[in-house]
Amino acid sequence: MNSSGQKNNSFELFHKYSERLAAKWGLNSASDPHLPAIITSDPNTPRKFLALYAQSTEKDILERLAANPNTPDDVLMGLADHYDSAVRTALANNNCAPDKVIESLVEDESVNVRFTVASNPHSSKRALKALERDCNPYVVRRASKTLNRISALNNEAVEEKKIATNR
């Protein structure tokens, strides 16, 4: 099948998916203006459909896309450079964002973005340790607390495993 056939097939699949989702949410049609927000918020939306929204100019859609755990990594990486800090903050809250993406936010100009990375227990240890050297004392304290919380949870898991092994 040529690329034109593949594009038509993808469009048909997306249209069917949109119609199904519109019906599920009680919308009049797949052209309902609320549907893009629903699609980009739904963690069950296929990755290839989420990628279609990467070029949106609507901040709300991009925030939802940044927060969606199923958004493709390359789209998330692009959103890490978005001009609006609310989009980058939503990305910093995404528990499934790859370490490379989260680590790119460690030196973000927005203290809110850095604080969000420091608060996220799914941030890489590398990102959290870097934020312990941040210029903002609140970010430093939050990164330290998150690292301590992760360490405590890991210690609990080790202890539980030892107890289970000794039974």
Segments making up each domain of the chain, as ranges:
33-165
Q: Is the model's pLDDT at 92 over the cut of 90?
A: yes
Report how far residue 157's alpha carbon sits from residue 150's, in angstroms, rounded to the nearest whole number: 11
- pTM listed for this prediction: 0.83
Q: Is the model's pLDDT at 64 over the cut of 90?
A: yes
Q: Tell me the pLDDT tens digit for each residue of 125-154.
A: 999 999 999 999 999 999 999 999 999 887
- DSSP assignment, residue 32? -
Distance from CA of residue 11 to its chain's centroid?
Answer: 25
Residue range 33-165, CATH number? 1.25.10.10
Report how far residue 42's alpha carbon sits from residue 71's, in angstroms, rounded to the nearest whole number: 10
Q: Tell me the pLDDT tens digit for each residue of 12-46.
A: 888 888 888 888 888 887 788 889 999 999 999 99
